[in-house]
Every structure is written in structure tokens, then in C-alpha cells.
Structure 1
Amino acid sequence: MSTFNEYHLDPKQFPFLQTLQDEWQVIRNEFRYFIQQASPEELRFAYDVLGPKSKTIKTKGNSKYSAFGILFQGLFIEKYIQLHQIQYPEYDTDEASEKALILRNKYFPNLAKAIKKVNFSEDNILRNVYFGTFHPGLDIKLHVNYNPHMNRGYLGLIVPEGDVAMKICHDKLYWNEGKFLILDHSYPHCPHNYTDYDRTVLVVDFFKPEKPRAEVRGFEQEQVTQRMQDNPYSLGVFGKSDQANVEDFIKYGLAHQLEWDKAL
């Protein structure tokens, strides 16, 4: 039985996510088909253009995290590229947008359909949707994701057995295939994959339903504007505020200390 709290949230609170969870095997099949059948150019384009990049979140060692997606800040990726007029070393804005649309339609039609269904009925509550893969040995350093207007859901798609987990405050949480893990990422956390296999989830960022929609939209617009100025390849997902500060380390250590005190 899972224990939920202020940073580990019960998925039942967010029934609109059921649409994606019901389609988890279809979504996983689309991801696998893409990885297995896409050309080297398509794979490179996905990870270079469709993947949010961070300048602040660091890993221990050489193992990597890779990601690419189709929805950012409530817009499908081809529209997001056009809105922000993102320029890439190998592609101009129009070319990148066109290629993104072709790739989305070719490989991820069912995922796109599920996103549209949720956002149509829930006033565009889904903001970012992307695949995130932890490669073997990955160990991400303690950080925060300053998104007080959103929660982050992980829909398990490919989860190997073993020690692949999220450490957040005094909890060590695990992903499960076909299930959502919902976190408030404003709390300090550090995930890892100490297995010999890739772990892939569908990352789903969504507005906190209890907050006024006009308020969260306004905050998102200000935040994304700053993040895109700092790093257009972040796609508005990551920013300078993701760095853990002294207070975060204190909070993280205090949570462990309180647990130790209870045990003693």
C-alpha cells in the first residue's frame, strides 16, 4: 500500500490521467517502434530537436539521460518551435517545425490523440509530454524543478527489475509499468538507475487542478519566457531555478534526520 504525502501524490486525485494510463501499452509500442525502426537521421533529430536540454541538472559519472517529446507548454512541438522561432545548428525554424510534425504523425499518432482528448476536456491541463530514458548506471545529482504551478507524472513504460528509483526527501519511490507515479518536483530529489537496462517513462507535466487557471497560465508564461531566453533548447522545461540551493540540502537532510530520530 502506497503512502502519499505533500510530494508523493495519489494518482486517483487526477482522473484525467486515466486516458493516458489506459493507453500505456499502445504508447509503449509507439516508442519501441520508433527506437527500432526510425532512421539514424530521425533518431538524431528527435534527441537533438525534440528533447528538452538542461544546463543545470548534473549527473554523477558518464551515464546519460535522454529525452524527446511531442508536447511542450501545452503546444505540440512543431507549433512550439514556430512560436519561439527556435534556430538549430542544422535546421532553420521552418524546417525543424516541418520535420517535427512529420515525425509526430508518422510515429506517435495514438499518443497525440490521447493528449488531444485530455486537453480538449480539461482546458489544456497537460503542459509537457515527453519520453524520458535513464540509461544503465545513471545517477542524477540532487536538484529541484521549480514548477510550483505543476505536478509531474511518470507513466511507466519500460521498467527493469532492480534498483531504479527516485529518492525524494525521505522516500525512495519506484516506477511501475502501466502505472503513474505523481510527484511535486519542487522538493529536492535525485533519481538513479543502478540496473543494466534502460528505464523509460512517459513524463507528463500538468497544471495543479486546485490552482486558478489564469494564475498558473500567467506564471507559466513568465517562467517560460525567461527559460527560453536563457536556453531556447530547454523547451521551457528546465531553467536556472532547477539548481538545488543550501536550503534544499538542509530540507533534504532534515527529512532524513527526522526519520532517524523516529527510528531511535
Structure 2
Amino acid sequence: MESFNEYHLDPKQFTFLKTFVDNWEVIRDEFTRFMKEASDEELKLTYNIFGPKSKTIKTKGNSKYSAFGILFQGIFIEKYIQVHQIQYPDYGADEASQKALTLREKYFPNLAKAIKKVNFNDDDIIRNVYFGTFHPGLDIKLHVNYNPHTNRGYLGLIVPEGDVAMKICHEQLYWHEGKFLVLDHSYPHCPHNYTNYDRTVLVVDFFKPDKSREEIIRFEKEQVTQRMQDNPYSLGVFGKSDKATVEDFIKYDLAHQLEWDKAL
């Protein structure tokens, strides 16, 4: 029996996630089709526009993490660009928004349909949805994601065999294809991929159901406003508060990890 605790949460308690699980193969196939069929220009546009990008979460060595998504703070990407008037080096908000809409409708209609279904039935509980790929050799430094209003679910889409895992506090947890791993990311964590293959999951951030909706929407708005000012290409997902502090290492009895990170 799998055990759960305050940071490793039982996905079955979040019944709205079942819609994504029931469609996981369709969602995976949309991702793989996009990666195979998209032109170089479409790939570049997607990774540049769909984000999200972090300035604070660091990797060890040269291996990278890549991500792109279609929903941020409960808004589809094309509208999100318009709401925040995000300016890109090669195009303004209007052009970027139109390109984002075209790409989303062309490659990810079933994922969008699943999101709409859940948010219609559960009062916009889903906040961010994006694909996250760990490339071979990736090792991300210990960090936190200061999002106390949300939990983060990872739906396994492409998970190679071997040592690809999430270290959180004193546990090492694994992804599985077609299943959710749900975490409270306010606890220090550091994922890695020590295999020779890409690992891709669908990241689904959702409001904590036991919190006051009015209160957490107000918090989210304030947090996203600050994050977008600091880095508009974060799409409000990442911010300066994601960097683990000395207090984080000490609070969770991870002082040994702090010394190791300093040495690196």
C-alpha cells in the first residue's frame, strides 16, 4: 500500500483529476504528435510563448528542463497573453495571442476539452496546465514553490524505467504513466532524471479544496501580479520566492543538503 502524508497527497481524494486520468493516453498522443509534426517555427513559438520560465530554479550541470502549457491561472494561454499584455522580442501581445490560439486549437483540442469540463463542473479549480519534460541527466537544485493556495499534480505521460524521481523532504517518489503524483510544493524538493531518456508529465496545479475560495483567489492575484512584474515569461507560475532559504533547509532537517548545494 502506498503511504501518504502532509506533502505527498492521495490523488483519489481529488476526484476532479479523474477526467485527466481517463484521457491520459489521448493527452500523451497530442503531445507526441506535436513533437513529431510541428515545424521548427511552431516548436520555437510554443516554447517561447507557452512558457513557463523560471529565473530562480537552478539546475546542476548543463542538462535542461523544458515546459510549455495552455492554461495559466485558470485562463487559456491566448487570453492570458492579452490580459497581461505580454511583449515578446519578435512580436507584440496581439500577434503572440493569435499564434498561441492557432497552435492550441491545432495540437491540443482534447486537453483543452478536459480542462473545460473540469473547470465547468468544479468552479475553475484548475489553475495551471503545462507539459514538463526532464531531459537526460537533469538534476534540479533543492527549491520550494511558494504557492500555499494550490497543490501540484503530475500526470505521468512518458516515464522511462530507471532513476527518474522526485526527492521531497526525506522521501524519493516516482512517476508512473497514467497516474497522478500529487504534492504540496511548499516543502523543499529536488527532482532528477538520471536515465538516458526524456521524462514528460502533465503538470496540473489546482486550488486546495479546503481553502476559502475568495481568500485564495485574492492571494493568487497578488502573487501573480508580482511575479509577472519580475518576469512576464514565468506566466505567474514561478517567482523569487521559489528559492529555498537557509530556514527551509533547517526547518525540514535538510542542513546536510544545504552544505552539498553550496559545494556544487
Q: What range describes the TM-score normalised by the shorter chain of this pair?
A: over 0.9
Equivalent positions of 1:86-235 (< 5 A) are 86-235=86-235
**Matches of 2:182 and 2:74, distance apart in 1:** 19
Distance 2:31 2:255 in 1: 37
Map Cα deviations across residues 220-242 of structure 1 (whole Å, 9 max, x no partner). Answer: 00000000000101000000000
TM-score (norm 1): 0.96
Partner of 2:68: 68
- The alpha-carbon deviation at position 249 of structure 1 amounts to 1.1
| Aligned counterpart, 2:38 | 38
Q: CA deviation at 1:255?
A: 9.6
Instruction: Please list the CA deviations of residues 46-104 of structure 1 after superposition, one character each: whole Å capped at 9, or x if unmatched.
Output: 11110111010000000000000000010000000000000000111000000000000
Structure 1 unaligned blocks of 5 or more:
258-264
- 2:253 is aligned with what amino acid? G
Whole-Å separation in 1 of the counterparts to 2:175 and 2:251: 24
Letter in 1 for 2:192: H
Aligned partners of 1:170 and 1:255 also within 8 Å: no
Aligned equivalents of 2:256 and 2:5: distance in 1?
A: 15
Q: How far apart, CA to CA, are the structure 1 residues paired with 2:220 and 2:235?
A: 12
* Alpha-carbon distance in 2 for matches of 1:16, 1:75: 18
Partner AA of 1:32 in structure 2? T
Q: Which residue of 1 aligns with 2:26?
A: 26
In 1, are the aligned partners of 2:82 and 2:93 still within 8 Å (CA)? Answer: yes
1:170/1:256 contact within 8 Å kept: no
Deviation, structure 1 residue 252: 3.8
CA positional deviation for 1:254? 5.0
The whole-number CA distance in structure 2 between the counterparts of 1:121 and 1:5 is 28
CA distance in 1, matches of 2:256, 2:30: 40
TM-score by length of 2: 0.96
**2:57–2:141 CA contact under 8 A, matched in 1:** yes
Does the residue aligned with 1:96 lie in a helix, a strand or coil? helix
Q: C-alpha separation between the residues in 2 aligned to 1:242 and 1:197? A: 27
1:234-264 deviations in Å (ceiling 9; x for gaps): 000000000000111113435999xxxxxxx
- Cα pair distance change 1:12/1:248, threshold 3 Å: same
Confirm or deny: 8 A CA contact 1:50 1:69 kept in the other structure: yes
Shift of the alpha carbon at 1:127? 0.3
Supply the AA of the counterpart residue of 1:75.
Answer: I
Counterpart residue identity of residue 249, structure 1:
F
Cα displacement (A) at 1:108: 0.2
Partners of 1:255 and 1:159 in 2: how far apart? 31
Distance 1:166 1:250 in 2: 20
Partners of 1:6 and 1:202 lie apart in 2 by: 22
* Aligned CA-pair RMSD: 1.2
Distance in 2 separating the partners of 1:238 and 1:8 = 21
